[in-house]
Amino acid sequence: MKEQQIKFYYKNVTESVLGGEHGISEKQFAALAAKTEPLIEQLNAQRKAGKTRYRDLPYQTDTVKAVKAVAAQVKWCENFVVLGIGGSALGNIALQTAMNPFMYNLDDKQRKGCPRLFVFDNVDPLQLSSFLSWLSDNLDKTVFNVISKSGRTAETAAQFLTICQMLEEKLGKDSLKKHIIATTDSQQGTLRKTADAFGLTTLQVPDGVGGRFSVLSPVGLLSAAVCGIDIDRLLAGAAEMDKKVSQQTFYKNPAAVNAAINWHYYNRGKKISVMMSYSYALKDFADWYRQLWAESLGKAKDLSGKEIFVGPTPVKALGATDQHSQVQLYREGPNDKLFTFLAVEDFGVDVKIGAAPDIAPELDYLSNQDMSRLLNSERAGTEYALLASKRPCLTIAFEKICPYTIGQFIYLLETSTSIAAMLFDINAYDQPAVELGKEATFALMGQSDYAALAEKIKPFAQINDSFII
Ligand code: PA5
């Protein structure tokens, strides 16, 4: 049986479609190939040297066993709550939206015996108090997966402390062991220390795998497995894509071509990269991609330490919804964007549109048609309109949305990010600019180590009434 695939389609960035000013000519493609092919080789060498550990995640059989064991251990729960942020949450949300039905949390039938899933990646008191109020009546049926590689991320730590206290007060101190799973560094960090002291079950964030590259590790796999997603097929799909993106030949390597096209356009004033999903199920992968692209590629310095301030701005959009919100700008605003459509060939299910009444013959064209045909026509129509305005468009088409194709997609985007970073000559795996804001928060929250910083912040944090209208 032929396995379901994703297809990377790039004709609609070529000169033959867009003309010389906005399209990529054969000569330019040849130059991109010459520039990128050595980088593929370099990336493959880095991988062998253990410098891109995320590349090996599809093959961690022991880890998968450990994840499945923990998933089996918490089978009794009715609610599974992920506490994490950034790379410790976005992949979990994306996997769930992609592979479980829209009404999963509300409909027992659609959940097929799996628990509801909630992912809390914020510290908004309005949102949390509503959730905690519901939770206090359901605590005994709930398992929490606190995910933090460092363990000192303020948002996750705050949620963790709140939940621990709630569990202790309602169910007793011993309940923590039953109700909390910690996913964190194997050796170090605040969460590792705390989890060990509390005797919690733990899973490891593999060494050398950064948050935004960790969805195929226990970070993303546990909630997926608990919610009935086939993680073996997810990893098999990633392994399949690994073969493609390891290929030395530029034109056979979708990650290389994707990265090179993005880099090419960035250097020609198209600094915004819009991922527009024509599938609700894939919409949160646009969010996941936004973090992957932004934190990995937005950098002040190149690898030699020279200031360059680069980074494409990733934007997420959802078709057809955003046709009625963004497409006016996309077509008539500045031609500064590269579009990547996410398309689905076979949705697996369909909805027949109802018949138009006699009084509205102008709606006859919709009568008894498949909803998938309408959505895909909207995608093709929007792409056509963008091309008419000379806007370059890529498409990643899913033959079907399933764990196997989702695994391919994740791996394609992660490797594209690595290659794009090499083209920009930057480090994809750090995020130094995030630190100052974190430290400022520590200071504003009264962490004594940051008292000096708190003083520095004061003039900025104080509201000056003369500027209030
Ligand atoms: O990609 C990253 O490294 C970040 O987005 C982290 O995932 C995020 O800051 C959360 O960090 P941690 O898992 O240490 O709590």
CATH code of the domain in which 150 resides: 3.40.50.10490
Name the residue at shortest CA distance from atom 9 of ligand 1.
86
Tell me, yes or no, whether 34 and 125 share the same domain.
Answer: no
* pLDDT tens by residue, 367-402: 999 999 999 999 999 999 999 999 999 999 999 999
> Of the candidates 156, 180, 205, which is a domain's last residue?
205
How many angstroms is it from 148 CA to the middle of ligand 1?
A: 7
Q: Over 80: is that where the pLDDT of 1 sits?
A: no
Q: What is the mean pLDDT of the chain?
A: 97
* Distance from the alpha carbon of residue 416 to the mean position of ligand 1, in angstroms: 20
Q: Is residue 276 part of a domain?
A: yes
Q: What is the pLDDT of residue 428?
A: 98
Residues 364 and 439 in one domain: no
Look at residue 405 and tell me if it is in a domain: yes
| 417 and 440 both lie in a single domain | no
118 domain residue, yes or no: yes
3-state secondary structure the chain: CCCCCEEEECHHHEHHHHHHHHCECHHHHHHHHHHHHHHHHHHHHHHHCCCCHHHHHHHCHHHHHHHHHHHHHCCCCCEEEEECCHHHCHHHHHHHHHHCCCCCCCCHHHHCCCCEEEEECCCCHHHHHHHHHHHCCCHHHEEEEEECCCCCCHHHHHHHHHHHHHHHHHHCCCHHHHHEEEEEECCCCHHHHHHHHHCCEEEEECCCCCHHHCCCCHHHHHHHHHCCCCHHHHHHHHHHHHHHHCCCCHHHCHHHHHHHHHHHHHCCCCCEEEEEECCHHHHHHHHHHHHHHHHHHCEEECCCCCEEEECCEEEEEECCHHHHCCHHHHHHCCCCEEEEEEEEEECCCCCECCCCCCCCHHHHHHCCCEHHHHHHHHHHHHHHHHHHCCCCEEEEEEEECCHHHHHHHHHHHHHHHHHHHHHHCCCCCCCCHHHHHHHHHHHHCCCHHHHHHHHHHHHHHCCCHHHCC
* pLDDT, position 150: 87
Q: What pLDDT, on the 0 to 100 scale, is given for residue 463?
A: 87
- Any residues with Cβ below 6 Å from ligand 1, and which? 85-88, 148-150, 153, 156, 210-212, 295, 431
Q: Is residue 463 in some structural domain? A: no
Domain containing residue 155: 61-205
Same domain, 353 and 454: no
pLDDT, tens digit, for every residue of 119-162?
A: 999 999 999 999 999 999 999 999 999 999 988 899 999 999 99
Residue nearest to atom 3 of ligand 1 (CA): 211
**167 and 66 in one domain?**
yes
- Residues 178 and 104 placed together within one structural domain of the fold: yes
- The span from the CA of 261 to the CA of 263, in Å, is 5
Distance 377 CA to ligand 1 centre (A): 38
From the CA of 87, give the closest atom in ligand 1: 7
Residue 172 sits in the same domain as residue 256: no
Domains: count for the chain: 3
**Are residues 23 and 109 both part of a single domain?**
no
Q: How confident is the model at residue 109 (pLDDT cuts 50, 70, 90)?
A: very high
Look-up: residue for tokens 């220390």?
193
Domain end among 179, 205, 231: 205
What was the pLDDT predicted at 462?
86
List the structure tokens of 258: 């994707």
Helix axes 403-424, 231-245, angle to 10 degrees: 40
Residue 438 is among the residues annotated as catalytic for this protein: yes
Question: Is residue 230 situated within a structural domain?
Answer: no
Do 294 and 361 share a domain, yes or no?
Answer: yes
461 pLDDT higher than 90: no
Q: Whose CA is nearest to atom 8 of ligand 1?
A: 86
The reported pLDDT for the residue numbered 2 is 80
Residue 225 inside a domain? The answer is no
- pTM over the 0.95 mark: yes
Whether 357 has a pLDDT exceeding 80, the answer reads yes
Among 212, 413, 418, 430, the mutation site with the greatest number of ligand 1 atoms within 8 A of its Cβ is 212
174 and 267, same domain (yes or no): no
> How far, in Å, is the centroid of ligand 1 from the Cα of 119?
15
Are 12 and 75 within one domain?
A: no
What are the pLDDT digits (tens) for 150-179?
A: 888 999 999 999 999 999 999 999 999 999
Is residue 26 part of the annotated active site? The answer reads: no
Active-site annotation holds for 295? yes
Whether residue 440 sits in one domain with residue 418: no
In a domain, 222, yes or no: no
Q: What is the position in ligand 1's atom list of the atom closest to the CA of 210? A: 3
Describe the strand order of the beta sheet including 142-147 as a list of residue ranges.
Answer: 116-120, 79-83, 142-147, 180-185, 201-205
Q: Distance, CA 22 to ligand 1 centroid (Å)? A: 37
Catalytic residue among 243, 324, 332, 362: 324
Task: Average the pLDDT over 179-204 and give the result.
Answer: 96
In a domain, 164, yes or no: yes
Question: Which among 283, 311, 294 has a CA at the least distance from the CA of 423?
Answer: 311
Q: Which of 295, 299, 383, 414 is catalytic?
A: 295
Q: What number is the average pLDDT over the span 179-205? A: 96
